[in-house]
C-alpha cells in the first residue's frame, strides 16, 4: 500500500493546486486543449470504428453499398469465428504463449533487475547495454536462425518455442522497466530487513516484491503487449498446433476473394484482450511507458 | 543511489544471461556462420570469407532499401515527436478524462501489428474504406497500391496513428513529474507560455523523450509487419524497407549467405545509432541526479 500512496502523493499534490482553476474554467467554454484531444482521439478511433462497422456487415453489404453504419446488423462473422476450431484455437494459442512468455520473462528479469539496481559489479554497464541490444535486434534477422534452432531441438510448432523466442526482446525490456522501479525503493529497506534476520529469498518475496508490485504489473503489461502484437517470429515458428491468431487471419483470402467481414471480426477480437489489460493498468500506464524513470 | 560493489550479483543475473544467450547468441552465431560460407546445396558449405559482405556493400538493392529506411525513420520521428509532445501538453491532468484519454490513446499500441496493417488496408481502400472513399469523393486520385506517393503517405499516417500515443504518454509522464513550484515561479516572473514550455517543461521531459526517440527509432528501423500487410513492399519496391527486403531474401529466395551478411550489417547500424541515443540518455539521467 505504501508504495502506491507515496509516489502518487509526490506527483499529485502540486497538480491539484495549480490545475484546478483551469478545469473549472473549462466547464464554461471548451478550451483549446479539449479540442486538440477530441480531434486526436477522433483520428485514433476512426479506423477502429471502421473495422467494427465492417465486422457487423455481411460481405454483400460491404462490397455492395457504402454506408457509415451497418444497415443490416449481423453477428454472423463473429459466429463463424466462435464456432470454427481453426479460428478460435488461434486465440487460444496466442493466449497460451503470451502468458508463458510473460511468466518466464518476469521470473528471470526480477533477480537480474534487483542486481542491476542494487549492486555494481564487473561489467555491469556493458551487460546492461548488451541486454538492451537484444531489444534492438530486428526480428527479421532472427527469423531464420530461430526456425533452424527450434527445429533442431524438436520444439518447432510448440507454444514454448514462441514464448522463448519472444523472450529475446521481452526479457531486456522487463529488466529495464523493473530496474527503473526498483531504483525508487530506498536501499535502507533492504538493510533493515537483513538486520531483522531475513534471508535474501524471504526478503525478496515477502518484502521487496509487494513494494514494487506496480512495477511488476507494468512489466507484465509490456511483456504481454509485445508478445501479443508480434507476428513475424510467431508465424515463422509455428505451422498448425501453435498457430497464432495473427497468422490465422491470412486464411480469409480464399478463392472467392477476401472474406472482409470475417477478417474485420477477427481483427476486432484481437483488440479485445489488449483493451481489457489496458483498463486494469490504466493508472500506471503513464509511469510504465516512462519505464519507471519519472 | 550509491551502489555497493558485490561480484556475487552475477549469480542473480545468471538466469537472464543463460536465457538470452540461448535465444540471442546461438541464433546470432548461426547468422555469422552463414555470412562467411557459400553452398551448392546438399548441406555442403565452404568458406567464402568476406565475399558476401563485399557483395552486399556494393549492392544497389541494399543501399536503396537502407535509403528508404532512413527516410522513413526520419519522417516518422519528425512527425511523431513534435505531435506527441503537443498532445501530451494538451492532455487533461486529472480525473476521469485523464484516464479516458490514457485508455483510448493506448488502444492502438495493443493491436497486433498485422491487424494494424489490415485496419489501414481496409480503411484506405477506395471501394470499401472510409478514408479512400472520402478522398475519392473529394476528387483526389488516391490509390495506395498503385501510386508510390500515396503508398508512402498511407504507411506514414498509419505509423503516426499507431505510435504517436507512445511519445505522448511518455511526455505526459514527464510533465506530471514537474513540481508545482516551477509553474508558480514562472507565473510570478510572468513567463510566456512558450517560455514555460522551453525552459521548464521541455528540459523536464528531456529524459523520457530520449526514451521515446530511442524506442521509436529502434522500432521504426525494424518495421516489418505493418507495411508488409498494407502494401507488401510495393508498388514496385517503393515501400520495401530493410526488414521486408531481408525476409524476402532469406525466407523467400533462400539466399542465406547474402541475407546473413545483410542481417549483420543491419544489426550493426541499429546498434551504433541506438548506442548514441543510449549514451545521451544515461548522461541526461546522471545530470538529473538520479
The span from the first CA to the last CA of chain B, in angstroms, equals 7
**CA-based nearest residue to A31, from B106, B188, B89:** B89
Poorest-pLDDT segment among A105-109, A124-128, B283-287: B283-287
pLDDT band for A10, please (50, 70, 90 cuts): very low
**Structural domains of chain B ordered from first start:** 58-287 (1.10.3720.10)
Residue B119 burial (10 A CB sphere; 0-12, 13-18, 19+): buried
The whole-angstrom distance between A35's CA and the closest CA on chain B is 9
CA-based nearest residue in chain B for residue A15: B180
Chain B hits for A129, Cβ within 8 Å: 275, 278
Are A61 and A67 in contact, with CB atoms under 8 Å apart?
yes
Residue of A nearest to B29 (CA): A145
- Map residue A84 onto helix, strand or coil: coil
What pLDDT was estimated at residue A169?
Answer: 87
Write the residue in B30, B123, B180 that is nearest to A17 by C-beta: B180
SS (H, E, C) B107-163: HHHHCCHHHHHHHHHHHCCCCCCHHHHHHHHCCCCCCCCCCHHHHHHHHHHHHHHHH
- Checking if the pLDDT of A24 tops 60, the result is no
Q: B184-190 contacts: CB < 8 A, separation 24 or more?
A: B184/A18
Q: Is B66 helix (H, G, I), strand (E, B) or coil?
A: helix
Question: Where does residue B289 fall: left (phi above 0), alpha (psi -120 to 50 degrees), or beta otherwise?
Answer: left
CB A21 within 8 A of CB B184: no
Torsion angles phi and psi, residue B210, rounded to 5: -65, -40
Closest residue in chain B to residue A170, using alpha carbons only: B20
Length of chain B: 290
pLDDT confidence of residue A7: 44
Q: Which residues of B touch A124 (CB under 8 A)?
A: 9
- Residues of chain A in contact with residue B130, where contact means CB-CB under 8 angstroms, are 46-47, 50, 68
Q: Are residues B250 and A41, on separate chains, in Cβ contact within 8 Å? A: no
- Write down the pLDDT at residue A23: 47
pTM for this structure? 0.83
- Separation CA A238–CA A232 (nearest Å): 10
**Partner residue facing B180 (CB), from A18, A23, A43:** A18
Q: What is the pLDDT of residue B50?
A: 76
Q: Is B138 on the interface with A (CB under 8 A)?
A: no
H and E: helices and strands count for chain A:
16, 3
Q: pLDDT at residue A291 above 70?
A: no
Q: Which CATH number fits domain A85-289: 3.40.50.1980, 3.40.720.10, 2.40.50.140, 1.10.3720.10?
A: 1.10.3720.10
Contact B243 A66 (CB under 8 A): no
Non-local CB neighbours of B133 within 8 Å, separated by 6+ positions: A66, B125, B126, B127
Distance, CA of B240 to CA of A102 (rounded, Å): 32
A207 inside 8 A of chain B by CB: no
CA distance B177 to chain A (A): 6
What part of A 74-93 touches B (C-beta under 8 Å)?
A: none
**Nearest-5° Cα angle at A192, A189 to A198:** 105
Question: Which chain A positions have a beta carbon within 8 Å of B103's beta carbon?
Answer: 275, 278-279, 282
Q: Are A32 and B90 in contact (CB under 8 A)?
A: yes
Give A182's contacts (C-beta < 8 A, 6+ positions apart). Answer: A113, A114, A117, A118, A212, A215
Chain-centroid distance of CA B128 in Å reads 30
Say whether B278 and A114 touch across the interface (CB within 8 A). no
A217/chain B closest Cα distance in angstroms? 16
Q: Which of A23, A44, A50 faces B107 most closely, judged by CB atoms?
A: A44
Q: What share of chain A has pLDDT > 70, as a percent?
A: 84
Q: With an 8 Å Cβ cutoff, are A229 and B211 in contact? A: no
Q: Is A52 on the interface with B (CB under 8 A)?
A: no
Name the burial class of residue A217, with classes exposed (0-12), middle (13-18) and buried (19+) by CB atoms within 10 angstroms of its CB. Answer: middle
Mean pLDDT of A13-38: 60
Q: Tell me which residue in B107, B183, B271 faces A48 most closely, judged by beta carbons.
A: B107
Cell numbers standing for residue B143: 490509390
Given a contact cutoff of 8 angstroms between Cβ atoms, the answer to whether A200 and A191 are in contact is no
Distances (CA, A) of B96 to A5, A224, B90, B101, B178: 19, 26, 15, 9, 21
DSSP code string of B50-65 = THHHHHHHT-HHHHHH
Report how many Cβ contacts below 8 Å link chain A to chain B. 307
| pLDDT confidence band for A294 (50 / 70 / 90) | low
Contact at CB, A119 and B3, closer than 8 angstroms:
yes
Would you give the DSSP letter of residue A184? Answer: T
Q: Which residues pair with B39 in a beta bridge?
A: B45
B26 touches A: beta carbon within 8 Å: yes
Question: For position A97, what pLDDT does the model report?
Answer: 92
Cβ of A66 within 8 Å of Cβ of B184? The answer is no
User: Who wins on pLDDT, A78 or A246?
Assistant: A78
Question: What's B238's DSSP letter?
Answer: T
Q: What is the pLDDT along chain B (290 residues), one digit of tens a residue?
A: 567 787 778 888 888 888 888 888 888 888 888 888 776 666 667 777 777 777 777 778 888 888 899 999 999 999 999 999 999 999 888 778 888 888 888 889 888 888 898 889 888 888 888 888 888 888 888 888 888 888 899 999 999 999 999 899 888 888 887 888 888 888 898 888 888 888 888 888 887 888 888 888 888 988 888 888 888 877 878 888 888 888 887 777 777 778 888 888 888 888 888 788 778 877 877 766 54
B113-123 vs B148-176: helix axis angle to the nearest 10?
Answer: 130
> Is B224's CB within 8 Å of A289's CB?
no
Partner residue opposite B110 with nearest CB, options A41, A267, A277: A277
* Cβ distance of B101 and A37 shorter than 8 Å: yes
Picking from A33, A50, A291, the nearest residue to B123 by CB comes out as A50
From B12, B90, B183, residue closest to A112, measured CB to CB: B12
> Strand, coil or helix: what is B39?
strand
Count Cβ atoms below 10 Å from residue A257 Cβ, excluding itself: 10
Chain A residues in contact with B134 by the CB 8 A cut-off are none
pLDDT at A101 over 90: yes
The confidence band for A273, taking pLDDT boundaries of 50, 70 and 90, is confident
Helix axes A124-136 and A159-183, enclosed angle (nearest 10): 130
Name which of A243, A263, A268 is nearest A89 in CA terms.
A243
Amino acid at each position: 500500500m505504501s508504495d502506491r500512496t507515496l509516489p502518487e502523493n509526490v506527483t499529485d499534490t502540486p497538480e491539484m493546486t495549480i490545475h484546478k482553476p483551469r478545469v473549472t474554467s473549462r466547464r464554461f467554454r471548451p478550451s483549446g486543449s479539449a479540442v486538440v484531444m477530441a480531434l486526436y482521439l477522433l483520428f485514433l478511433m476512426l479506423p477502429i470504428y471502421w473495422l467494427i462497422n465492417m465486422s457487423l456487415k455481411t460481405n454483400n453489404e460491404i462490397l455492395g453499398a457504402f454506408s457509415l453504419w451497418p444497415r443490416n446488423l449481423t453477428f454472423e462473422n463473429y459466429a463463424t469465428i466462435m464456432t470454427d476450431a481453426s479460428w478460435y484455437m488461434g486465440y487460444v494459442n496466442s493466449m497460451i504463449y503470451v502468458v508463458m512468455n510473460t511468466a518466464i520473462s518476469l521470473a528471470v528479469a526480477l533477480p537480474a533487475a534487483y542486481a542491476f539496481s542494487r549492486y555494481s559489479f564487473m561489467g555491469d554497464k556493458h551487460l546492461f547495454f548488451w541486454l538492451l541490444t537484444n531489444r534492438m535486434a530486428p526480428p527479421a534477422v532472427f527469423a531464420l536462425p530461430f526456425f533452424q534452432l527450434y527445429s533442431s531441438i524438436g520444439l518447432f510448432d510448440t507454444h514454448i518455442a514462441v514464448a522463448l523466442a519472444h523472450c529475446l526482446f521481452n526479457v531486456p525490456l522487463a529488466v529495464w522497466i523493473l530496474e527503473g522501479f526498483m531504483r525508487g525503493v530506498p536501499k535502507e529497506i533492504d538493510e533493515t530487513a537483513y538486520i531483522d534476520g531475513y534471508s535474501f529469498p524471504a526478503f525478496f518475496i515477502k518484502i521487496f516484491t509487494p513494494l514494487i508490485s506496480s512495477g511488476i504489473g507494468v512489466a507484465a503489461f509490456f511483456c504481454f503487449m509485445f508478445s501479443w502484437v508480434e507476428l513475424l517470429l510467431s508465424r515463422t515458428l509455428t505451422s498448425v498446433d501453435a498457430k497464432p491468431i495473427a497468422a490465422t487471419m491470412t486464411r480469409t483470402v480464399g478463392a472467392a476473394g477476401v472474406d472482409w467481414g470475417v477478417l474485420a471480426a477477427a481483427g476486432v477480437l484481437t483488440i479485445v484482450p489488449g483493451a481489457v489489460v489496458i483498463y486494469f493498468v490504466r493508472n500506471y500506464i503513464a509511469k510504465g511507458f516512462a519505464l519507471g524513470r519519472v | 543511489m550509491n551502489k555497493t560493489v558485490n561480484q556475487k550479483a552475477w549469480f542473480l543475473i545468471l538466469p537472464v544471461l543463460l536465457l538470452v544467450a540461448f535465444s540471442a547468441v546461438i541464433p546470432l552465431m548461426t547468422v555469422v556462420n552463414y555470412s562467411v560460407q557459400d553452398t551448392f546445396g546438399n548441406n555442403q558449405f565452404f568458406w567464402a570469407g568476406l565475399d558476401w559482405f563485399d557483395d552486399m556493400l556494393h549492392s544497389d538493392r541494399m543501399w536503396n532499401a537502407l535509403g528508404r529506411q532512413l527516410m522513413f525513420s526520419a519522417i516518422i520521428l519528425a512527425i511523431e515527436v513534435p505531435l506527441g509532445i503537443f498532445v501530451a501538453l494538451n492532455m487533461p491532468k486529472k480525473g476521469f478524462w485523464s484516464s479516458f484519454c490514457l485508455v483510448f490513446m493506448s488502444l492502438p499500441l495493443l493491436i497486433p501489428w498485422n491487424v494494424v496493417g489490415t485496419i489501414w488496408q481496409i480503411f484506405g481502400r477506395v471501394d470499401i474504406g472510409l478514408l479512400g472513399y472520402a478522398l475519392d469523393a473529394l476528387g483526389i486520385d488516391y490509390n495506395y497500391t498503385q501510386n508510390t506517393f500515396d503508398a508512402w503517405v498511407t504507411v506514414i499516417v498509419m505509423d503516426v496513428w499507431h505510435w504517436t500515443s507512445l511519445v505522448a504518454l511518455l511526455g505526459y509522464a514527464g510533465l506530471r513529474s514537474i513540481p508545482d513550484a516551477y509553474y508558480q515561479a514562472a507565473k510570478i516572473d510572468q513567463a510566456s507560455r512558450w517560455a514555460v514550455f522551453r525552459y521548464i517543461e521541455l528540459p523536464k521531459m528531456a529524459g523520457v523523450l530520449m526514451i521515446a526517440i530511442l524506442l521509436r527509432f529502434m522500432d521504426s528501423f525494424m518495421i516489418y509487419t505493418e507495411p508488409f500487410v498494407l502494401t507488401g513492399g510495393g508498388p514496385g519496391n517503393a515501400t520495401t524497407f530493410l526488414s521486408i527486403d531481408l525476409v524476402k531474401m532469406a525466407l523467400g529466395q533462400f539466399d542465406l549467405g547474402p541475407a546473413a551478411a545483410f542481417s549483420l550489417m543491419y544489426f550493426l547500424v541499429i546498434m551504433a545509432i541506438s548506442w548514441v541515443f543510449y549514451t545521451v540518455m544515461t548522461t541526461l539521467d546522471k545530470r538529473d541526479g538520479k
